[in-house]
């Protein structure tokens, strides 16, 4: 690991000021915030991340989980285990609790922060290995994943430059919950709906989010729970625990008289970003909550899937995952 | 040429006494290596080996290091350390607490589990400098061979290990788990302990050891 300067920020302003000195907040940033460290320290050990300055933000008062406008404001530093076990989250946003608890390990969840998880980097093996070509890590260098070991990689939102999967479970649930990312920026605060927070790889896979130098995520806001909504998270993976999803689905569903009145469907493990399946939602809303309709929704969600040499199985698996999750949640 | 077999390859008394003199324990060997061999190869990472001497006023700190006070097992430890030293390496190399093990070093095995402010965490995944003011507990702070923590005693009683490398992490994880909301069944324990990998596969005995402590506490 390369040497770096370390500072423990005493205020949000001090942290943001330090981060603003970086030319980018994206891949290759020379200044990085550290909260839990579970992702950053790992990548620094691999030399994938080589910040010159690390800003410890753990002393900042950003870990509260509190009611806000009928919804919930989750501080950026709230640990994954605290969010997953929060009584309100479990009652009103169960899908978020389930998603978080399906990922990592108890030790990691005790460390990992809400905002850190938002920015969790891909597990693409070519991104994590300096000897491989990776457009995300080193723009313009090529992508060895295209014809390589791409079994775990994305089939939705891909480009010819990048097929890296967003690995987070939390973020899939946040998509289904219409979460909003609260950002303290150089020129004031802004609230970015999570559906607009992530960038598709396109020709610039190294620019993953809308974050700019000096931005500091201060919280994630959840809107008031949808009246009568049922929620759930289903994660399919190669082993029963401590593994990333090959496919997952987060569901928020309201029904009236057997018909769907509100639907949010998001997929994990298959997208280059936490994947909001709007096509599936459009198929569901106003229609009967039947298995046939769920299958139609899943077909719509995956119609643009672009599998590579090893991940063709994910197309069918993601559909079945979504259908099973919708069936379970609607029957709950 | 005389054929050397096990029977006729008797050692001369000279060789034997030499061997006795140079025989040392694995731990003593590693500690010695820490002070000399490893320091020679990994000097930049290890600003202090074992207990660093107290710095005199005006004495220059080693380049790139920062002053840090860590509270480990109830004792304040002052040290000079580079920011890039993981808590795990700091405990093992700087503070001479080798009970915490380095397995994968990437958050995938749980061998390095310690408690920070009473919660189980992976010591390989954060920098030591992030833990000033925190209360850190390692396996050395849990109990001693003479006075074991009930979880340690239960692991011994149930033979809950083979090679023993993952054991301190398993025990630290299990002790923290006692305070968490975990269901009563063996499956609940397996699920709560999945962040600790045992390559020997001593899981049935680990679960039995943990369950006994839960029944008795």
Q: Which of A18, A79, A97, A107 to mutate to test the interface with B (most CBs of B within 10 A)?
A: A107
pLDDT band for B25, please (50, 70, 90 cuts): low
| pLDDT number for residue B217 | 85
What number of C-beta contacts closer than 8 Å exist between A and B? 84
CA distances to A4, A18, A202, B84, B88 from A10, in Å: 19, 12, 38, 20, 25
| pLDDT number for residue A256 | 96
The pair of three-digit structure tokens given for residue A314, joined into one six-digit string = 């994910």
| pTM of the shown model | 0.90
The pair of three-digit structure tokens given for residue A50, joined into one six-digit string = 């080589």
The rounded distance, in Å, linking the Cα atoms of B32 and B26 is 10
The pair of three-digit structure tokens given for residue A224, joined into one six-digit string = 């008031």
The rounded distance, in Å, linking the Cα atoms of B126 and A57 is 13
| pLDDT number for residue B41 | 43
| pLDDT number for residue B14 | 47
| pLDDT number for residue B133 | 85
Tens of pLDDT along chain A (332 residues)?
Answer: 999 999 999 999 999 999 999 999 999 999 999 999 999 999 999 999 999 999 999 999 999 999 999 999 999 999 999 999 999 999 999 999 999 999 999 999 999 999 999 999 999 999 999 999 999 999 999 999 999 999 999 999 999 999 999 999 999 999 999 999 999 999 899 999 999 999 999 999 999 999 999 999 999 999 999 999 999 999 999 999 999 999 999 999 999 999 999 999 999 999 999 999 999 999 999 999 999 999 999 999 999 999 999 999 999 999 999 999 999 999 99
pLDDT band for B28, please (50, 70, 90 cuts): low
Q: Is the ipTM of this complex over 0.90?
A: yes
The rounded distance, in Å, linking the Cα atoms of A77 and A64 is 8
A68, β-bridge pairs = A71
Report the run of H or E that residue B122 belongs to, with start and end: strand B119-122
pLDDT band for B7, please (50, 70, 90 cuts): very low
- Torsion of the alpha carbons at B37, B39, B45 and B51, rounded to the nearest 10: 120
List helix spans (H) across chain A: 12-19, 40-45, 80-85, 87-92, 94-101, 106-111, 114-118, 170-176, 278-284, 291-302, 313-331
Planar angle of CA A157, A162, A166, nearest 5 degrees: 60
**Residue A67, phi then psi, degrees to nearest 5:** -65, 145
| pLDDT number for residue A135 | 98
| pLDDT for B6 beyond 50 | no
Closest of B214, B111, B107, B198 to residue A110, by C-alpha: B107
User: How far off is chain B from A6, nearest CA to CA, in Å?
Assistant: 6
Minimal Cβ distance to B105: which of A6, A34, A45: A45
Is residue A322 a contact partner of residue A283, using CB atoms and an 8 Å limit? no
pLDDT band for B57, please (50, 70, 90 cuts): very low
Give the strand order in the sheet containing A31-34: A5-8, A53-56, A31-34
Closest of A119, A169, A203 to residue A275, by C-alpha: A169
Is residue A34 a contact partner of residue A55, using CB atoms and an 8 Å limit? yes
- Torsion of the alpha carbons at B6, B10, B15 and B18, rounded to the nearest 10: 70
pLDDT band for B12, please (50, 70, 90 cuts): very low
Q: Which range (A204-213, A272-281, B9-18, B101-110) has the least confidence?
A: B9-18
A263, β-bridge pairs = A253
CB contact under 8 A, B127 and A241: no
The rounded distance, in Å, linking the Cα atoms of B172 and B175 is 5
Q: Which of A10, A106, A120 to mutate to test the interface with B (most CBs of B within 10 A)?
A: A106
pLDDT digits (tens, 9 = 90+) for B130-163: 999 899 999 999 999 999 999 999 999 999 999 9
DSSP string computed for B22-53? H---HHHHHHHHHHTHHHHHHGGG-S-SSSPP
Is residue A51 a contact partner of residue A199, using CB atoms and an 8 Å limit? no
Q: Does B105 touch chain A (CB under 8 A)?
A: yes
Q: Does B63 touch chain A (CB under 8 A)?
A: no
Residue B121: how many CA atoms within 13 Å on its side-chain side? 29
Tokens 């049935």 -> residue: B204
**Residue A96, phi then psi, degrees to nearest 5:** -70, -45
Q: Where are the beta strands (DSSP E) in chain A?
A: 5-8, 31-34, 53-56, 65-68, 71-75, 180-185, 188-193, 216-222, 230-236, 247-256, 259-268, 275-276
| pLDDT number for residue B56 | 47
pLDDT band for B38, please (50, 70, 90 cuts): very low
Tokens 């493990």 -> residue: A269
| pLDDT for B13 beyond 90 | no
| pLDDT for B9 beyond 70 | no
- Taking CB atoms and an 8 Å cutoff, what residues of chain A touch B44? 3
The rounded distance, in Å, linking the Cα atoms of A41 and B39 is 23
| pLDDT for B10 beyond 60 | no
The pair of three-digit structure tokens given for residue A28, joined into one six-digit string = 């290759």
Is residue B177 a contact partner of residue B118, using CB atoms and an 8 Å limit? no
The rounded distance, in Å, linking the Cα atoms of B88 and B91 is 5
């Amino acid at each position: 690991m390369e040497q770096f300067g370390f500072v423990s920020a005493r205020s949000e302003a001090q942290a943001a000021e330090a981060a603003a000195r970086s030319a980018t907040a994206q891949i290759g940033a020379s200044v990085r915030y550290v909260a839990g460290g579970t992702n950053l320290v790992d990548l620094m050990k691999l030399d994938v991340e080589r910040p010159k300055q690390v800003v410890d933000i753990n002393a900042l008062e950003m870990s509260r989980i509190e009611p806000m406008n009928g919804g919930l404001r989750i501080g950026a530093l709230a640990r994954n285990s605290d969010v997953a076990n929060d009584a309100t989250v479990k009652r009103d946003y169960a899908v978020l609790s389930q998603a978080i608890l399906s990922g990592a390990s108890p030790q990691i969840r005790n460390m990992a922060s809400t905002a850190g998880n938002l920015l969790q980097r891909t597990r693409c093996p070519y991104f994590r290995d300096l000897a491989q070509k990776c457009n995300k890590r080193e723009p313009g260098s090529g992508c060895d994943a295209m014809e390589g070991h791409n079994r775990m990689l994305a089939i939705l939102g891909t480009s010819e430059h990048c097929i890296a999967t967003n690995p987070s479970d939390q973020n899939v649930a946040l998509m289904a919950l219409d979460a909003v990312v609260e950002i303290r920026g150089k020129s004031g605060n802004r609230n970015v709906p999570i559906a607009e927070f992530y960038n598709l790889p396109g020709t610039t896979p190294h620019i993953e989010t809308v974050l700019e130098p000096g931005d500091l995520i201060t919280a994630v806001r959840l809107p008031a729970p949808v009246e009568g909504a049922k929620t759930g998270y289903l994660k399919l993976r190669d082993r029963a625990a401590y593994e990333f999803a090959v496919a997952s689905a987060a569901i928020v569903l309201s029904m009236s008289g057997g018909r769907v009145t509100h639907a949010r469907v998001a997929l994990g493990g298959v997208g280059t970003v936490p994947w909001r399946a709007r096509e599936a939602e459009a198929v569901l809303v106003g229609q009967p909550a039947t298995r046939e309709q769920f299958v139609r929704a899943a077909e719509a969600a995956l119609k643009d899937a672009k599998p590579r040499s090893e991940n063709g199985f994910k197309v069918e698996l993601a559909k079945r995952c979504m259908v099973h999750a919708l069936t379970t949640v609607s029957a709950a | 040429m005389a054929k050397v077999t096990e029977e006729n390859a008797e050692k001369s008394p000279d060789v034997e006494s030499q061997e006795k003199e140079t025989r040392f324990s694995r731990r003593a060997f590693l500690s010695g290596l820490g002070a000399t061999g490893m320091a020679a190869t990994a000097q930049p990472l290890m600003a202090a080996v074992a207990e660093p001497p107290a710095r005199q006023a005006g004495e220059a700190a080693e380049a790139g290091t920062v002053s840090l006070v860590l509270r480990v097992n109830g004792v304040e430890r002052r040290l000079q350390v580079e920011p890039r030293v993981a808590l795990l390496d700091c405990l093992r190399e700087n503070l001479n607490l080798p009970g915490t093990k380095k397995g994968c070093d990437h958050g995938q095995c749980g061998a390095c589990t310690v408690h920070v402010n009473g919660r189980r965490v992976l010591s390989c995944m954060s920098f030591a400098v992030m833990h000033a003011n925190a209360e850190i507990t390692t396996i050395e702070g849990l109990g001693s061979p003479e006075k074991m923590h009930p979880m340690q005693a239960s692991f011994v009683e149930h033979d809950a290990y083979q090679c023993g490398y993952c054991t301190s992490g398993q025990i630290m994880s299990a002790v923290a788990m006692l305070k968490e909301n975990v269901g009563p069944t063996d499956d609940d324990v397996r699920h709560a302990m999945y962040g600790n990998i045992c390559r020997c596969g001593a899981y049935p005995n680990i679960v039995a050891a943990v369950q006994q402590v839960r029944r008795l506490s």
